[in-house]
Amino acid sequence: DTYLKLEDVTRKFNKPCIMDVKIGQKSYDPYASEEKIQQQVSKYPLMEEIGFLVLGMRVYHVSSDSYETQNQHYGRRLTKETVKDGISKFFHSGYCLRKDVIAASIQKVEKILEWFEGQTQLNFYASSLLFVYEGSCQATTVRLSDVTLAEKRRGPKGLLAGGDVLEYNNNIHVINSTENGKIEASVGKGLSKFYALHKKACSKRHHSQLSLKVENSEQDNVWKTSTCITQEHLNGNVLPQLEKVFYHMPAETKESANVEVRMIDFAHVFPSDTKDEGYIYGLKNLITVLQNILDN
């Protein structure tokens, strides 16, 4: 029997953040009428020039415990000058820019680009990429086996300065907590979950110091770094420093962020004997925009 199987891509997420991006220089197929062509071009004239269109997004803000939703009109208002800032809104938690998610998203889009560079059988029109990532700072859906756990330490909980409890988050374990409030954390492969720690510290505004010891082993090659981030006042300015640490992580670790990028909407797919240059063009431009957001 032939059947169509549907998957809920958001099923494993607690607070899913979702963005739909239409890819390609043309959103109409080769057999579209002139009326249809004009209708599609008038909706977003820049589609041919930049190769993609944001159709909508839904972003969870940790700070307000609420979602911000943007529809297709939001995407159509974006220009070449504003598209970078427009897309960056999708990756902002209300506290900081989720560079871990951006890095993981770039890698996943690059894999899709690699497939398109090698196939000459199909051309896609009005198809989209669906981006989904975990917006909650305490993602309970991550399985224990999905992350490399740090060495177990005695005591299930650590204390932040002022007596606040910092619970384990699968891959984050408190090594010690000294009288001056210094906390050392050993972080495994899922460093993206360190977001739970810096969100907690940022929200409490503790006058303390934070020292991170990051260790990771990638196959047979050992990548090690010992990075200390010390600030007398943990007042939110630590976030850019944490982001710098994450930005220099190896690619395999970056991808450990809880992110999905899926190809969706295949109503207009046609046989071809050439590469889908329009889709490839859109993917490359989207990667460029994402990389600019990450770098800046």
Identity at 277, one-letter amino acid code? E
Q: Which secondary structure element, helix H or strand E, spans residue 167, and what is its range?
A: strand 165-167
pLDDT value of residue 137: 76
Burial (0-12, 13-18, 19+ Cβ within 10 Å), 149? middle
Query: Which of 20-29, 181-190, 282-291 shows the lowest per-residue confidence on average (mean pLDDT)?
Result: 181-190
- Average model confidence (pLDDT) across the chain: 73
Domains parsed from the chain with CATH numbers: 14-138+255-295 (3.30.470.160)
The first and second tokens of residue 103, run together, are 């890095």
- Rounded Cα–Cα distance for residues 215 and 273 (Å): 47
Pairing of strands 210-218, 183-187: parallel
pLDDT band at 4 (very low <50, low <70, confident <90, very high): confident
Handedness of CA 59, 60, 61, 66 (dihedral sign): positive
Quote the Cα angle for 45-50-53, to 5°.
70
Residue 223: pLDDT over 70: no
Kindly state the percentage of the chain with pLDDT values over 90.
Answer: 55
The first and second tokens of residue 123, run together, are 């051309």
Of 55 and 199, the one with more pLDDT? 55
pLDDT tens digit string along 183-206? 333 333 334 444 454 445 444 433
Query: Which of 93-97, 130-134, 188-192, 292-296 shows the lowest per-residue confidence on average (mean pLDDT)?
Result: 188-192
Of the chain, the end-to-end C-alpha distance in Å amounts to: 51
Helix, strand or coil, per DSSP, at residue 285:
helix
pLDDT tens digit string along 100-156? 999 999 999 999 999 999 999 999 999 999 999 999 975 433 433 344 333 333 444
pTM assigned to the model: 0.62
